[in-house]
Structure 1
Amino acid sequence: MTEWVVPATFALFVSILAVASGPLVGAVDVTQEGPPVGDGSTAVTVGSVPTEQVTLERGRFGSGRYHLDAPPAVLTVDRVAGNPAVRYTIDIPSLWITATSRYELAGTEGTRMGLRPKPIGISPQRINRGSYDAVLTIWIREGDRERQITVKQITIEVQQ
Protein backbone atom coordinates (compact mmCIF):
# COMPACT_ATOMS: atom_id res chain seq x y z
CA MET A 1 0.00 0.00 0.00
CA THR A 2 2.86 2.44 0.67
CA GLU A 3 4.24 1.81 -2.81
CA TRP A 4 1.61 4.03 -4.40
CA VAL A 5 1.35 6.69 -1.62
CA VAL A 6 4.59 8.50 -2.55
CA PRO A 7 3.90 8.64 -6.31
CA ALA A 8 0.26 9.64 -5.67
CA THR A 9 1.31 12.39 -3.24
CA PHE A 10 3.88 13.66 -5.75
CA ALA A 11 1.29 13.63 -8.56
CA LEU A 12 -1.19 15.50 -6.36
CA PHE A 13 1.48 18.11 -5.51
CA VAL A 14 2.36 18.61 -9.19
CA SER A 15 -1.34 18.93 -10.11
CA ILE A 16 -1.97 21.56 -7.42
CA LEU A 17 1.14 23.48 -8.46
CA ALA A 18 0.09 23.42 -12.12
CA VAL A 19 -3.42 24.66 -11.35
CA ALA A 20 -2.16 27.38 -9.01
CA SER A 21 0.55 28.66 -11.32
CA GLY A 22 -1.49 28.42 -14.53
CA PRO A 23 -3.34 31.73 -14.08
CA LEU A 24 -0.17 33.41 -12.82
CA VAL A 25 1.87 32.38 -15.82
CA GLY A 26 -0.92 33.43 -18.19
CA ALA A 27 -1.13 36.86 -16.54
CA VAL A 28 2.42 37.84 -17.45
CA ASP A 29 2.44 40.29 -20.34
CA VAL A 30 5.53 39.88 -22.49
CA THR A 31 4.54 42.37 -25.20
CA GLN A 32 6.89 45.22 -25.89
CA GLU A 33 5.92 48.65 -24.66
CA GLY A 34 5.52 51.58 -27.01
CA PRO A 35 7.53 54.76 -26.77
CA PRO A 36 7.47 56.47 -23.37
CA VAL A 37 4.66 58.96 -22.81
CA GLY A 38 5.73 62.42 -23.87
CA ASP A 39 8.59 61.15 -26.04
CA GLY A 40 8.00 62.55 -29.52
CA SER A 41 6.58 65.55 -31.33
CA THR A 42 3.35 66.72 -32.91
CA ALA A 43 1.49 69.64 -34.43
CA VAL A 44 -1.73 70.44 -32.58
CA THR A 45 -4.43 72.89 -33.63
CA VAL A 46 -6.92 73.94 -30.97
CA GLY A 47 -10.39 74.22 -32.49
CA SER A 48 -12.33 75.32 -29.42
CA VAL A 49 -12.22 75.41 -25.64
CA PRO A 50 -15.20 75.76 -23.33
CA THR A 51 -15.35 79.33 -22.07
CA GLU A 52 -19.02 79.13 -21.11
CA GLN A 53 -21.24 76.32 -19.84
CA VAL A 54 -18.55 75.09 -17.42
CA THR A 55 -20.40 74.24 -14.24
CA LEU A 56 -20.22 72.65 -10.84
CA GLU A 57 -23.35 70.50 -10.68
CA ARG A 58 -24.74 69.00 -7.52
CA GLY A 59 -24.97 65.21 -7.55
CA ARG A 60 -28.41 63.68 -7.88
CA PHE A 61 -28.04 60.51 -5.84
CA GLY A 62 -27.98 61.81 -2.30
CA SER A 63 -24.28 62.50 -1.80
CA GLY A 64 -24.70 66.22 -2.38
CA ARG A 65 -21.18 66.40 -3.86
CA TYR A 66 -20.55 68.79 -6.72
CA HIS A 67 -19.06 67.58 -10.00
CA LEU A 68 -17.22 69.57 -12.65
CA ASP A 69 -19.00 69.50 -16.01
CA ALA A 70 -17.68 71.08 -19.18
CA PRO A 71 -18.18 70.74 -22.93
CA PRO A 72 -15.13 69.17 -24.56
CA ALA A 73 -12.14 71.17 -25.70
CA VAL A 74 -11.56 70.21 -29.33
CA LEU A 75 -8.19 69.89 -31.02
CA THR A 76 -6.76 68.34 -34.17
CA VAL A 77 -3.56 66.31 -34.03
CA ASP A 78 -1.16 66.13 -37.02
CA ARG A 79 2.43 65.04 -37.73
CA VAL A 80 2.73 62.71 -34.75
CA ALA A 81 6.16 61.18 -34.18
CA GLY A 82 6.67 58.94 -31.16
CA ASN A 83 4.23 59.37 -28.29
CA PRO A 84 3.82 63.03 -27.34
CA ALA A 85 1.11 63.80 -24.80
CA VAL A 86 -1.54 66.43 -24.13
CA ARG A 87 -2.42 67.58 -20.62
CA TYR A 88 -5.73 69.36 -20.12
CA THR A 89 -6.36 71.20 -16.84
CA ILE A 90 -9.08 73.26 -15.26
CA ASP A 91 -7.71 74.97 -12.15
CA ILE A 92 -10.03 76.54 -9.56
CA PRO A 93 -7.57 78.40 -7.30
CA SER A 94 -10.05 79.55 -4.64
CA LEU A 95 -11.09 75.91 -4.05
CA TRP A 96 -7.51 74.57 -4.33
CA ILE A 97 -8.68 72.11 -6.98
CA THR A 98 -7.24 71.18 -10.36
CA ALA A 99 -8.93 68.68 -12.67
CA THR A 100 -6.26 67.18 -14.95
CA SER A 101 -6.62 64.74 -17.85
CA ARG A 102 -3.75 63.31 -19.89
CA TYR A 103 -3.95 61.93 -23.40
CA GLU A 104 -1.26 59.98 -25.24
CA LEU A 105 -1.05 60.90 -28.92
CA ALA A 106 0.69 57.88 -30.49
CA GLY A 107 -1.47 56.67 -33.38
CA THR A 108 -3.73 59.75 -33.44
CA GLU A 109 -2.39 61.30 -36.67
CA GLY A 110 -5.11 63.41 -38.32
CA THR A 111 -7.51 62.87 -35.44
CA ARG A 112 -9.95 65.39 -34.05
CA MET A 113 -10.04 64.89 -30.27
CA GLY A 114 -12.46 66.01 -27.60
CA LEU A 115 -10.74 66.63 -24.26
CA ARG A 116 -12.70 66.49 -21.03
CA PRO A 117 -11.59 67.31 -17.49
CA LYS A 118 -11.01 64.39 -15.16
CA PRO A 119 -14.10 63.74 -13.02
CA ILE A 120 -13.75 65.27 -9.57
CA GLY A 121 -16.11 65.51 -6.64
CA ILE A 122 -16.23 68.49 -4.30
CA SER A 123 -17.78 68.44 -0.85
CA PRO A 124 -20.85 70.69 -0.63
CA GLN A 125 -19.37 72.33 2.49
CA ARG A 126 -16.63 73.85 0.30
CA ILE A 127 -19.05 75.52 -2.12
CA ASN A 128 -20.03 78.95 -0.82
CA ARG A 129 -20.42 81.05 -4.00
CA GLY A 130 -22.55 81.12 -7.11
CA SER A 131 -19.51 81.13 -9.40
CA TYR A 132 -15.73 80.64 -9.35
CA ASP A 133 -12.92 82.03 -11.48
CA ALA A 134 -10.82 79.30 -13.11
CA VAL A 135 -7.99 78.80 -15.58
CA LEU A 136 -8.27 76.33 -18.45
CA THR A 137 -4.91 75.24 -19.89
CA ILE A 138 -3.84 72.79 -22.59
CA TRP A 139 -0.21 71.65 -22.56
CA ILE A 140 1.82 69.56 -25.02
CA ARG A 141 4.63 67.34 -23.72
CA GLU A 142 7.35 66.68 -26.30
CA GLY A 143 10.48 64.99 -25.02
CA ASP A 144 11.70 66.64 -21.84
CA ARG A 145 9.75 69.87 -22.26
CA GLU A 146 6.14 70.88 -21.84
CA ARG A 147 4.62 73.94 -23.44
CA GLN A 148 1.28 75.69 -23.07
CA ILE A 149 -0.72 75.92 -26.24
CA THR A 150 -3.87 77.47 -24.76
CA VAL A 151 -4.62 79.40 -21.57
CA LYS A 152 -8.09 80.85 -20.93
CA GLN A 153 -9.64 82.57 -17.93
CA ILE A 154 -13.12 81.12 -17.43
CA THR A 155 -15.97 81.40 -14.96
CA ILE A 156 -17.50 78.25 -13.50
CA GLU A 157 -21.16 78.58 -12.55
CA VAL A 158 -22.55 76.61 -9.60
CA GLN A 159 -25.73 74.66 -10.39
CA GLN A 160 -27.95 73.47 -7.55
Structure 2
Amino acid sequence: MSRSSVLADFGVSASAGAVLQIAHGSVTGDVYSATTSWTSSPLKAASNITFTPKLATSNILLIANFQAYSAATYGYYDFYKDASDIDETYNLSGLSYGLTMIDVTTSWEGKMMTFLDPVAENSTTEKTYSISARGHSASNTHIGNHATLNNQLITIMEIAA
Protein backbone atom coordinates (compact mmCIF):
# COMPACT_ATOMS: atom_id res chain seq x y z
CA MET A 1 0.00 0.00 0.00
CA SER A 2 1.37 3.41 -0.92
CA ARG A 3 2.00 6.17 1.60
CA SER A 4 -0.76 8.31 0.05
CA SER A 5 -3.28 5.46 0.39
CA VAL A 6 -2.42 5.08 4.06
CA LEU A 7 -2.79 8.82 4.63
CA ALA A 8 -6.22 8.94 3.03
CA ASP A 9 -7.45 5.74 4.69
CA PHE A 10 -6.55 6.90 8.19
CA GLY A 11 -7.57 10.53 7.83
CA VAL A 12 -4.02 11.78 8.35
CA SER A 13 -2.99 14.89 6.47
CA ALA A 14 0.32 15.21 4.64
CA SER A 15 2.74 18.12 4.89
CA ALA A 16 1.84 21.02 2.63
CA GLY A 17 3.52 20.61 -0.73
CA ALA A 18 3.95 16.84 -0.45
CA VAL A 19 3.20 14.94 -3.66
CA LEU A 20 0.57 12.33 -2.77
CA GLN A 21 0.20 10.60 -6.14
CA ILE A 22 1.13 10.99 -9.79
CA ALA A 23 -0.68 9.87 -12.93
CA HIS A 24 0.52 10.10 -16.51
CA GLY A 25 -1.39 9.41 -19.67
CA SER A 26 -1.69 10.00 -23.39
CA VAL A 27 -4.39 11.96 -25.13
CA THR A 28 -4.40 10.64 -28.68
CA GLY A 29 -5.64 11.85 -32.03
CA ASP A 30 -5.87 15.09 -33.98
CA VAL A 31 -8.96 17.24 -33.45
CA TYR A 32 -9.73 20.68 -34.81
CA SER A 33 -12.51 23.22 -34.92
CA ALA A 34 -13.19 26.80 -36.02
CA THR A 35 -14.68 27.69 -32.63
CA THR A 36 -13.74 31.05 -31.11
CA SER A 37 -15.38 30.40 -27.74
CA TRP A 38 -14.58 28.47 -24.57
CA THR A 39 -18.34 27.94 -24.03
CA SER A 40 -20.14 27.74 -27.40
CA SER A 41 -19.20 24.63 -29.42
CA PRO A 42 -15.94 24.22 -27.46
CA LEU A 43 -13.05 22.00 -28.58
CA LYS A 44 -11.14 19.46 -26.52
CA ALA A 45 -8.71 16.65 -27.30
CA ALA A 46 -10.12 13.34 -28.55
CA SER A 47 -9.59 11.54 -25.24
CA ASN A 48 -9.38 12.33 -21.52
CA ILE A 49 -7.37 11.43 -18.42
CA THR A 50 -9.27 10.62 -15.23
CA PHE A 51 -7.85 11.18 -11.76
CA THR A 52 -9.23 10.71 -8.25
CA PRO A 53 -7.61 12.77 -5.45
CA LYS A 54 -6.81 11.01 -2.17
CA LEU A 55 -7.56 14.11 -0.07
CA ALA A 56 -10.37 16.63 -0.61
CA THR A 57 -8.10 19.55 0.29
CA SER A 58 -5.37 18.77 -2.26
CA ASN A 59 -4.31 20.86 -5.23
CA ILE A 60 -3.82 19.18 -8.62
CA LEU A 61 -0.80 20.14 -10.74
CA LEU A 62 -1.45 19.63 -14.47
CA ILE A 63 1.34 19.47 -17.06
CA ALA A 64 0.60 18.95 -20.76
CA ASN A 65 2.83 18.51 -23.82
CA PHE A 66 1.13 18.51 -27.22
CA GLN A 67 1.34 19.50 -30.89
CA ALA A 68 -0.55 22.64 -31.91
CA TYR A 69 -1.49 24.50 -35.08
CA SER A 70 -3.95 27.27 -35.89
CA ALA A 71 -5.07 28.99 -39.08
CA ALA A 72 -7.09 31.40 -36.90
CA THR A 73 -4.48 34.19 -36.49
CA TYR A 74 -3.92 32.83 -32.96
CA GLY A 75 -4.89 29.57 -31.29
CA TYR A 76 -5.40 29.56 -27.52
CA TYR A 77 -4.98 26.45 -25.35
CA ASP A 78 -6.11 25.60 -21.83
CA PHE A 79 -7.19 22.61 -19.72
CA TYR A 80 -10.61 20.97 -19.80
CA LYS A 81 -12.10 19.68 -16.53
CA ASP A 82 -15.27 17.84 -15.59
CA ALA A 83 -16.53 16.04 -12.47
CA SER A 84 -19.89 15.08 -11.02
CA ASP A 85 -19.81 17.95 -8.51
CA ILE A 86 -18.72 20.86 -10.76
CA ASP A 87 -19.75 22.49 -14.01
CA GLU A 88 -17.77 21.27 -17.00
CA THR A 89 -15.19 23.85 -18.16
CA TYR A 90 -13.06 24.16 -21.27
CA ASN A 91 -11.15 27.10 -19.75
CA LEU A 92 -9.93 25.86 -16.36
CA SER A 93 -7.49 28.75 -15.89
CA GLY A 94 -10.24 31.32 -16.48
CA LEU A 95 -7.84 33.32 -18.67
CA SER A 96 -9.46 34.74 -21.84
CA TYR A 97 -6.48 33.74 -23.97
CA GLY A 98 -5.79 30.45 -22.17
CA LEU A 99 -2.49 29.24 -20.77
CA THR A 100 -0.52 29.16 -24.03
CA MET A 101 -1.03 30.20 -27.63
CA ILE A 102 0.22 29.73 -31.17
CA ASP A 103 0.57 32.29 -33.97
CA VAL A 104 -0.72 31.55 -37.50
CA THR A 105 2.75 32.32 -38.92
CA THR A 106 4.08 29.26 -37.06
CA SER A 107 3.65 25.84 -38.57
CA TRP A 108 3.04 22.88 -36.27
CA GLU A 109 4.66 23.50 -32.93
CA GLY A 110 5.20 21.55 -29.73
CA LYS A 111 3.55 23.31 -26.79
CA MET A 112 3.70 22.85 -23.04
CA MET A 113 1.40 24.26 -20.40
CA THR A 114 1.05 23.90 -16.64
CA PHE A 115 -1.70 24.85 -14.21
CA LEU A 116 -2.31 24.32 -10.50
CA ASP A 117 -5.98 23.39 -10.07
CA PRO A 118 -6.98 24.46 -6.54
CA VAL A 119 -9.89 21.95 -6.59
CA ALA A 120 -12.30 24.53 -5.19
CA GLU A 121 -14.99 21.85 -4.86
CA ASN A 122 -12.94 20.25 -2.03
CA SER A 123 -13.88 16.69 -2.90
CA THR A 124 -12.40 13.34 -3.79
CA THR A 125 -14.73 12.75 -6.74
CA GLU A 126 -13.14 11.50 -9.94
CA LYS A 127 -11.94 14.37 -12.16
CA THR A 128 -11.66 14.26 -15.94
CA TYR A 129 -8.93 16.38 -17.55
CA SER A 130 -7.98 17.06 -21.16
CA ILE A 131 -6.52 19.75 -23.43
CA SER A 132 -8.90 22.38 -24.82
CA ALA A 133 -8.56 25.07 -27.47
CA ARG A 134 -10.23 27.95 -29.27
CA GLY A 135 -9.24 30.20 -32.14
CA HIS A 136 -8.95 33.97 -32.27
CA SER A 137 -10.95 33.98 -35.51
CA ALA A 138 -13.20 31.40 -37.18
CA SER A 139 -10.52 29.21 -38.77
CA ASN A 140 -9.36 25.77 -37.68
CA THR A 141 -7.33 25.39 -34.49
CA HIS A 142 -5.79 21.93 -33.93
CA ILE A 143 -4.90 19.84 -30.89
CA GLY A 144 -2.53 17.07 -31.99
CA ASN A 145 -0.93 16.36 -35.35
CA HIS A 146 -2.37 13.50 -37.42
CA ALA A 147 0.65 13.40 -39.75
CA THR A 148 3.13 12.43 -37.03
CA LEU A 149 0.69 10.26 -35.08
CA ASN A 150 2.10 11.69 -31.89
CA ASN A 151 0.45 11.58 -28.51
CA GLN A 152 -0.40 14.51 -26.35
CA LEU A 153 0.86 13.80 -22.84
CA ILE A 154 -0.69 14.88 -19.55
CA THR A 155 0.96 14.45 -16.16
CA ILE A 156 -1.17 14.96 -13.06
CA MET A 157 0.24 15.38 -9.54
CA GLU A 158 -1.82 15.58 -6.38
CA ILE A 159 -0.16 18.02 -3.98
CA ALA A 160 -1.15 18.33 -0.32
CA ALA A 161 -2.44 21.81 0.54
Tell me if TM exceeds 0.5: no
Structure with greater contact order relative to length (CA < 8 Å, sep ≥ 6): 2
**What's the TM-score once normalised by structure 1's chain length?**
0.39
**What's the TM-score once normalised by structure 2's chain length?**
0.39
Higher strand share: 1
Higher helix share: 1
